[in-house]
Amino acid sequence: MTYLNTTWQNTNRILDVIVIGEALTDVVVTSGGTSEHPGGSPANVAYGLGRLGVSTGLLTALGDDDRGAAIETHLRSTDVTLLPGAYSLDRTSSATATLTQDGSASYNFDVVWDLEPAAPAYVPKVLHTGSIATFLAPGAGAVKTLMQHCHHDCIVTYDPNIRPSLLGSHAEALSIFEDLINLTDVVKLSDEDATWLYPRMNLDDIAGRLLRLGAGLVVITQGAQGALLATPDTRLTIPAVQSTVVDTIGAGDSYMAALIMGLLTRVTVGYAPSVLEQVGRTASMAAAITVRRPGANPPTSDELRAHLEQPTA
């Protein structure tokens, strides 16, 4: 594989987290009309990390157009670094989200994903990837190459964020997903993702399978039912924070960003039950704040801290 000098070695910041994956325009359709917002699961995670004060860079692919410029402005508003080489596509990808009365969303995608593989000059503390970027050729191959380069030297987190309409056969998608697990330390997926990938297994057994494939921590979110956090030694269920849902756009990405922040700030190495409890409750609160307001609008570090410090009933 030929490496190009086009990635984060050309930035002036040493970044704690590098996120690799798609950034696109969310076109949101409701009964009241249509609006556009920067989105894409990896870009949302990067933005969420920036809101939480974590030094973060995004390696992505955009078109040199108004939508691409809006995404860059959005990311820079939270001090997220858009890594060099981003403007590589003919047009910026988009996802049309149609919201139902209960706030849930269905999606249609116009996505191109291509990324040149590049050797980093340094390895960040956390490398995060997931979603379309890990499944859609030709860019998925470059993502895997970067995971292979970094996984021995940093925490690698992965959220498959399954979008069935963009995947090939179930067998092909499952093969791609499982092939990445041994390059990953932390796998986070929703219960919908989990049951799509493993329709004949319960969530606890799915977590066990991913741990046997090489993950150190598996997190399966279950909406209002909370989240399962599993390691080879521990199974822990963290309850969801009660919320009035405006919409669910970006909730899983806010959860992922707060989970990464928790891993960076944990007081001890490893996944002791006390660590999982703290990390899980922080991530659940971040998701709860996000669903209370429209769009992918994650909390700031001050908002999250204030909510976590409120006494529980």
Q: Looking at the domain assignment, is residue 69 inside a domain?
A: yes
What per-residue confidence (pLDDT) applies to 12? Answer: 62
Q: Please state, rounded to an integer, the average pLDDT across all residues of the chain.
A: 90
Q: Is 96 exposed, middle or buried (0-12, 13-18, 19+ CB in 10 A)?
A: middle
Q: How far apart are CA 216 and CA 239, in angstroms?
A: 21
Q: How many domains is the chain built from?
A: 1
Least confident of 36-40, 66-70, 198-202: 36-40
d(CA 220, CA 226): 9
* Residue 3 maps to a domain: no
Which pLDDT does position 121 carry in this prediction?
72
pLDDT, tens digit (0-9, with 9 covering 90-100), for 79-125: 999 998 899 999 999 988 787 777 677 778 899 999 876 666 778 99
Residue 101 placed within a domain? yes
pLDDT recorded at residue 292: 86
In this prediction the pTM is: 0.91
- Which has more confidence, 267 or 213? 213
> Is the pLDDT reported for residue 1 higher than 90?
no
In a domain, residue 302? The reply is no
Q: Is residue 313 part of a domain?
A: no
For the chain, the C-alpha Rg in angstroms (whole number) is 18
Domain that includes residue 139, residue range? 8-297
Indicate whether 311 belongs to any domain: no
Question: What is the model's pLDDT at position 136?
Answer: 94
pLDDT of residue 4: 32
Q: How large is the average pLDDT for residues 211-221?
A: 98
**Residue 258 near residue 285, CB atoms below 8 Å:** yes
Is residue 254 in some structural domain? Answer: yes
Nearest of 156, 113, 118, 165 to residue 134 by alpha carbon: 113
pLDDT at residue 2, as a whole number = 28
Please check whether residue 306 lies inside any domain of the structure: no
Average pLDDT over residues 59-86: 95
Handedness of CA 208, 210, 213, 216 (dihedral sign): negative
Name the pLDDT band for 8 (thresholds 50, 70, 90). Answer: low
- What is the distance in angstroms between the CA of the first residue and the CA of the last residue of the chain? 56
pLDDT of amino acid 291: 84
pLDDT in tens, 113-171: 998 766 667 789 999 999 999 999 999 999 999 999 999 999 999 999 998 888 889 99
20 against 293, higher pLDDT: 20
- CATH code of the domain in which 235 resides: 3.40.1190.20
What integer pLDDT is reported at residue 313 of this predicted model? 47
